[in-house]
Structure 1
C-alpha cells in the first residue's frame, strides 16, 4: 500500500476514531493522526517551516535532534546539537515504531507523546536494506478515541498496533554471546548493531558471554525461566544448539522452560541458519534485530538424536537445524582448520570430496511419509493455508518411542543397498536455509511434525551432482529426477555407518557440530520449542512463494 493511499485513508479512519477535533494544537509538537497502518504526519507547521517540501514529497523536514555522526560530533565537541535538518517522513508505519510513551509520565492518557521509530536505508527491507537509523520525535495525536477500550491509553493502543506479539513489547531478554563468533567480531556486532535497537525499544537486557566450550549448556541448565521472556543468541548456530540441549538436561527435560521461553538467534557467527530461516532472510544484523521484535512467537519442531556412549548408555541430544553424513559433513567439520578463510572453506571441502568420487556406505532405515514431490508440494500448501499448530506440549511428548539400541520398527523402510552402499550425501533438516545461499530444505515447515531428507549417491555423475549442488541456492535441486536425488518427508530414521572413521577424517555433523562417528537415530518432537517467525512463517523458499 502506498503512503499516499494510507494518508488518504486516514481521513476515513479519523471519522471512525473520533467525532470531534482537538480544541488546540501545540506548536512545539509534530501533529499526527492515526491511520489503519500507522501514523500520518499532518500538513501543519512542519511543512510551513520547510519551503523545499511539497504535498507530493514523502517526507517533511524539521529541526528535531539529529542522531547522525555529525550530530553527535557537534554535541560532544561544542555542547549543542548540529544545525543539520533531520527528515521526518509523512507516514510512519506501525512496523517501524519501536516505542511510544507520554511526554509527561504522570499523564498516561495524554495525547502528547515521545515516539521512537526506525527508518531502513531501503524500502526493499529483506534484500537491499543494510542498516537503519533510530529517531525520536515528540508528537501530538489528534484523533484517538478509546470508547472501544476505556482502559487502553493512546500509547498502549499504538504499541499494540506496532507489535504482533505483546510479549515483545519491552521484553526481558537474556542475551548470550559467543565472543569468538563472527571471526571474533561478535561483541562489536552486538554493541554497534543490536544493542542500540534493543535499548531504543526499552527491552530489559541481561548480558552473558560464554567463557568456555559448551558454557551455554550450563547457562541453560541453571537459569531461572521466570526471569526472562526471550533467550537471544548473538552467535552462529552453535549457541542455540547448546541452549536447547542445556534446557533438555533440566528436570523433566526442561518442559517448564521450553513452554515459558522463546529462543531465537541474531546473526553474529559464521553459520546463521536459524535467523536466516526464521526472521526473513536479511543478511543485515541491524535489519534482522528490528524484524525480530516484529515477529510472532510460534512453536517449532525439534529433533531428538540418540547415540550410545563409550559405556553403551544411550545419550539424547536435540537438534533444531540438521544432521548430515557424507560429503557435506566432511566438508563442514573437516575444514575447521580453514575457518579463517570464511565460507569459502566449505566450498573447497565440497570440491575436494566431489572430485575425489567419495562414497560413504551405510545402512539407512526410514519411517517415510512420502517422497512423491506432488504430495510434498500439496502438503506444504495445505499447511500454510490452514496455519496448523501442534497441541500444547506435555511431559509425555518428550519421551522417545525407541532409541538407537532398540530393534528397528517393522514399519520402517530400509533404503536399498544399491543406494546406501554408494551414498555420498545424506542431509536431513527442519529449516529451509542452511546458509544465505543454500535453501537445502525448501519444503521445511515450522511444526508439521516431519523432517526433510535429501539423498544422493556416487552413481550420479559429477556433472549432475554439480548441477544439483549449484541448484541449492534457488531450492530447485529437489526438482531433479529421483534417479539423481531423493527428497522425502519423514518422521524418523536410523543411520548405521558401514565404514571406518579413517583416523578421524570422517564426520557426522548435527547443527554444524561434530558428533561421534557411530550409529544414530532421529525422531521429531513436535512443537517443543518456542521460536520467532517473521509474519508467522519460515523465510520464503522456492516452495512457499505465493
Structure 2
C-alpha cells in the first residue's frame, strides 16, 4: 500500500502541544536517576542520557511485525525512529512526548523506581511497547513525583489520560484477523498507557447496535471498534437509539482500530490504517465533535458518519463482496469495469446547497483549518455534560428540520431529473479508502456534507483520469466533477429495482431516501482536534 500524504505534513510523532515549551532550560526539568543517568524534559522529547539503560522489552506480549504494509498518511517524510547518539561514553536518545504512554513511581520498602512506558517504532508503520526503569533516590522522591507529573503533562497535553474504553472486536470482518491484531498490536499499547479496557466480541450483524444502545455511558469515555467501518456505523446508531441519545453521542467518543477491509475512519482521524499506530493515536486522541447525517428511508431512520452513495461507487463497493479475497484492489477492479461500461443510474435529486462554488469551498476550508482556536475549546461542546438550556427529558435525537422522505418536499427544494447520473456520492470525511481522498474539503464539524456528482456518459479517458486524480489530489478541480457543500438532499432512484445504495458501506434498499446534516451531534477522537489527516482542496 502506498502513501498518499500531502508534502510537508507534520511529523506524527511531534508533540504539537509541546511547541513553545522550554523545559530544557530549567533545573527542574532534569531528574537524576540510577548511576550517572539523567532524564530531561526537552522541547518536544524526553532526553535520556545514560551509560547502562535498563530497558524492558515488551515484545514477548506484542508478537511479530505485521506482514501487511499499512498506510501511514502523516509519515511520508517523517523520521519515525527515536534519535540516538553518543556524548563521551554516554548514550543519549530522544523519545518524542507523543510516544510516551505512561510514567509512574513505584515505592518499595528500601527503594523507589521510576518506570516509563513508551511506544517504540520498529518500522514506519508499527510501534511496540517498551519500558525504561531507573532507581530513584529517596531524597529525590518529591522531585521525582513532580517531574513525573510534568512528563505526563508534556505527553498528553489536552488529551484525556487513562481513557476508559469499551473495546468491540468483530471477529468476522475483513480477513477475520481482528482478534489477532488486537492481541498483538493494540492491547499492549492500551496496557502501557494504563487505560481501563473492557473487551467484548460481537457475535452477529447488528450486535454492536444492541451493545451501544444498552451501554452505561457513565462507565466509559470511548467505544473502540476493532473492525472495518461497519462497526462504528452500528455503534453510532446504537447510541442514537438511547433515550438520551444526544447526551450519549456527546459523551462517548467512537473510534476505529483498523482491522477490516475498509478503514476510512482511522485513515481520516488517525492518519493510518496500522493497528498499532492507530492505538497510539487513540491513546493520545483529542475529543472532536463530528457531524452526523440523518438518513430516512420509508419509516426507518439511521445515522451515517462516513458516506452515502448511489451509482458507481455504491455498486463497486457492494457488488464486489464476492471479491473480498482481493483486499482493497476489489474496489479498483469494480470501479474500472463500470467506468468502461459507461453505466448510468437515472434518478431525481433535490439538494439544499450551502456552498456551490469550488473557489468558495476552498476558501471556507482554508479558513477553518487555519483557525487558531485551541482544540480543547472545540471539544468542550462534546463533553456529554448537560448544559444550560438542555432539557433532560428531551435529549433524544434532534428534530429533523427538513422532515423525512415521506413528507412533502421541504420549502425551497426542487426535484431535478438526472437521467445521466454516473456517481452520486455524499461524504462526511475525506478519505473513503486508502489513497482515495474523494472529499478533500470535508471537515469534521462544519455542519455540511460534501456532495460529488459525475455524469455517467463522460468519455472513458476522462473517467479513468478521475480515478487516478483521486490519488494525486487533482480530483477536486476536474471540470466534470460537480462538488458542493450541502445541508441535505432527497434522491429518488428510477427504472431499476435491483440497484445499490450504500450508507457507510452497508447496503440499504434501492428506494428513495432523504439526508440531513445534524451538526456536531457525534464525538470522535482525532490527532489535531481540528480536521482530518488529509490534504485539502
TM norm. shorter chain > 0.5: yes
Deviations 1:206-264 (A, max 9, x none): 01001011000010111111111110001000000000101111114x12211211110
Asked whether the equivalents of residues 32 and 139 of structure 1 are also in contact (C-alpha less than 8 Å), the reply is no
What is aligned with 2:212?
220
Q: 1:528 is matched with which residue: 521, 526, 534? A: 521
Alpha-carbon spacing, 1:185–1:29, altered in 2? closer, same or farther (3 Å): farther
State the shift of 1:348 in Å.
Answer: 2.4
Alpha-carbon offset, residue 88 of structure 1: 7.0
Q: Which shows bigger deviation, 89-98 or 236-245? A: 89-98
SS state of the match for residue 262, structure 2?
coil
Structure 1 unaligned spans of 5+:
4-8, 50-61, 74-86, 123-128, 309-313
Aligned equivalents of 1:330, 1:71: Cα separation in 2: 39
The 8 Å contact of residues 115 and 131 in structure 2, kept in 1 or not, is answered as yes
The equivalent residue for 1:120 is: 121
Distance 1:69 1:190, change over 3 A: closer
Structural RMSD (CA): 3.4
Answering whether residue 132 of structure 2 is matched by residue 137 of structure 1, we say yes
> 1:367 is paired with a residue of what secondary structure?
strand
Cα distance in structure 2, aligned partners of 1:523 and 1:336 = 28
SS across alignment from 2:433: coil
For 1:288, the equivalent position in structure 2 comes to: 278
Q: CA deviation at 1:341?
A: 2.4
**Mapping 1:102-121, distance limit 5 Å:** 102-104=105-107, 112-121=113-122
Shift in Å, 1:154: 2.9
CA distance in 2, matches of 1:328, 1:334: 10
With the length of structure 2 as denominator, give the TM-score of the two structures: 0.82
Residues 185/304 of structure 1: CA separation in 2 closer, same or farther (3 Å cut):
same
Choose which of 304, 319, 322 in structure 1 pairs with 2:294: 304
Q: Residues 353 and 484 of structure 2 are in contact (CA less than 8 Å); yes or no, is this contact kept in structure 1?
A: yes
Q: Compared with structure 1, are the counterparts of its residues 434 and 89 closer, same or farther at alpha carbon in structure 2 (3 Å cutoff)?
A: farther
Cα separation, 1, equivalents of 2:174 and 2:219: 28
* Paired residues of 2:24 and 2:43 also in contact (CA < 8 A): no
1:448 is displaced (CA, Å) by 0.3
What is aligned with 2:486?
490
Matched residue, 1:366: 351
Q: Rg larger in 1 or in 2? A: 1
Asked if structure 2 preserves the Cα contact closer than 8 Å seen for 1:29 and 1:138, the reply is no
For each residue in 1:487-544, what CA deviation from the matched residue of structure 2 results, as whole angstroms up to 9, or x when unmatched? 111111000111221xx3x110000000111000001111111101112233343326
In the alignment, which residue of structure 2 is the partner of 1:407?
A: 408
TM-score between both structures, scaled by the size of structure 1: 0.80
Q: CA separation in 1, counterparts of 2:257 and 2:206?
A: 19
CA distance in 1, matches of 2:149, 2:197: 21
Indicate yes or no: 2:456 matched with 1:458: yes
Helix, strand or coil at the partner of 2:468: helix
**Which residue number in structure 1 is paired with residue 229 of structure 2?**
237
Distance (Å, rounded) in 1 between the aligned partners of 2:56 and 2:370? 46
CA distance in 2, matches of 1:140, 1:456: 65
SS at match of 1:360: coil
Label 1:387 to 1:303 Cα distance change in 2 as closer, same or farther (>3 A).
farther
| Higher relative contact order (CA closer than 8 Å, sequence separation 6+) | 2
Partner of 2:78: none
Does 1:315 find its partner at 2:300? Answer: yes
In structure 2, the partner of 1:36 is 43
Q: Structure 1 pair 38/493, CA: closer, same or farther in 2 (3 Å)?
A: same
Q: Equivalents in 1 of 2:501, 2:215: separation in Å?
A: 30
**Does the residue aligned with 2:432 lie in a helix, a strand or coil?**
coil
- 1:338 correspondence with 2:323: yes
C-alpha displacement at 1:26, in angstroms?
A: 5.2
- Distance in 2 between the 1:265 and 1:70 partners? 22
Summarize the alignment of residues 370-409 of structure 1 with structure 2, pairs less than 5 Å apart.
370-386=355-371, 389=378, 392=381, 395=395, 398-401=398-401, 402-409=403-410
Cα deviation for residue 67 of structure 1 reads: 4.4
Distance in 2, Cα, partners of 1:235 & 1:28: 46
Worse overlay, 471-480 or 98-107? 98-107
In structure 2, what is the equivalent of residue 432 of structure 1? 430
2:469 to 468, 471, 476: 471
